Amino acid sequence: MRWKLLEAPYKDSVNWAKWHVFWVDERVVPKNHPDSNYKLAYDGFLSKVPIPSGQVYAINDSLSAEGAADDYEACLKHLVNTGVLELSTTTGFPIFDLMLLGMGPDGHMASLFPGHPLCQEKHRWVTYITNSPKPPPVRITFTFPVINASANIALVITGPGEAGAVAKALRPDLMPVEMVSIGGEFTWFLDKDAASKLPN
């Protein structure tokens, strides 16, 4: 993956000290495991920019899925109490400046899969899944109320494998992406392959 933020003029002009980095979802595996989203982000991006390590919030991978979800939610609530995260006065959920999301070939976002009961979770900030249709099966994930409280969402979809899901998501079928409903900005970014099944 190529990160434009690692190139001039961005790398030297961004105030990295202001960044706080979270995971919308994560596989409950060790941080050095090939399936770890943390490892992917660290190897390709976080190890190359001076974001303070205390402002990068990885999950506690020594816990069970349920424990890791509870711990991550407690972390978010602590950051609300200390003023790092703002709480929405209308929804009661934390407001993230930017939520960066993708979408799988089956239409899942975060670790919220089509037809799974977790898509209907209304109260938790962070929850867990132990029977993910896509391996690895054990994950934690933000819930839709947290996703929808974001100030901005960027949905980035690339490659031909997701083209069918993109086309389906823009028809009146109940897919997770259709449960995104925020008061801020929701922007889709598609490459040519991902958009290849859309009508002209």
Task: Let me know the angle formed at the C-alpha of 13 by 44 and 31, rounded to the nearest 5 degrees.
Answer: 25
What distance in Å separates the CA atoms of residue 137 and residue 140, rounded to the nearest whole number?
Answer: 10
Alpha helices in 37-162 (DSSP H): 37-44, 65-81, 144-148
Q: What are phi and psi of 126, to 5 degrees?
A: -130, 135
Q: What is the mean pLDDT of the chain?
A: 90
* Predicted local distance difference test score (pLDDT) of residue 200: 64
> For residue 103, what are the CA distances in angstroms to 51, 161, 162, 166?
27, 10, 7, 8
CB 118 within 8 A of CB 125: no
Interval 93-107 mean pLDDT: 91
* Predicted local distance difference test score (pLDDT) of residue 160: 78
- Decide if 132 is inside a domain: yes
At 75, is the secondary structure helix, strand, or coil?
Answer: helix
Which CATH number goes with the domain that contains 142? 3.40.50.1360
Lowest mean pLDDT among 5-14, 20-29, 63-72: 5-14
Taken in order 16, 11, 30, 99, the sign of the CA dihedral is: positive
User: 90: burial class by Cβ within 10 Å (0-12, 13-18, 19+)?
Assistant: exposed
- Decide if 29 is inside a domain: yes
- Decide if 9 is inside a domain: no
At 71, is the secondary structure helix, strand, or coil?
Answer: helix
- Decide if 179 is inside a domain: yes
* Predicted local distance difference test score (pLDDT) of residue 170: 60
Interval 16-32 mean pLDDT: 97
| Residue 171's pLDDT band (cuts 50, 70, 90) | low
6-39 burial: b if 16+ Cβ within 10 Å, else e: eeeeeeeeeeeeeeeebbbbbbbbeeeeeebbbb
- Decide if 76 is inside a domain: yes
Per-residue pLDDT of 44-79, as tens digits, reads 999 999 999 999 999 999 999 999 999 999 999 999
User: Tokens 């823009």 sit at which residue?
Assistant: 170
The residue among 73 and 176 whose pLDDT is bigger is 73
- Decide if 200 is inside a domain: no
- For the chain, what is the domain count? 1
- Decide if 2 is inside a domain: no
> Containing domain of residue 74, as a range?
14-190
- Decide if 92 is inside a domain: yes
What distance in Å separates the CA atoms of residue 110 and residue 102, rounded to the nearest whole number?
Answer: 7
* Predicted local distance difference test score (pLDDT) of residue 14: 94
Query: What is the distance of C-alpha 95 from the center of its chain?
Result: 13
What distance in Å separates the CA atoms of residue 114 and residue 106, rounded to the nearest whole number?
Answer: 7
CB 59 within 8 A of CB 37: no
For residue 10, give the amino acid letter.
Y
pTM of the model as a whole:
0.86
Per-residue pLDDT of 127-164, as tens digits, reads 999 999 999 999 999 999 999 999 999 988 887 777 67
- Which pair of tokens denotes residue 127? 């929850």
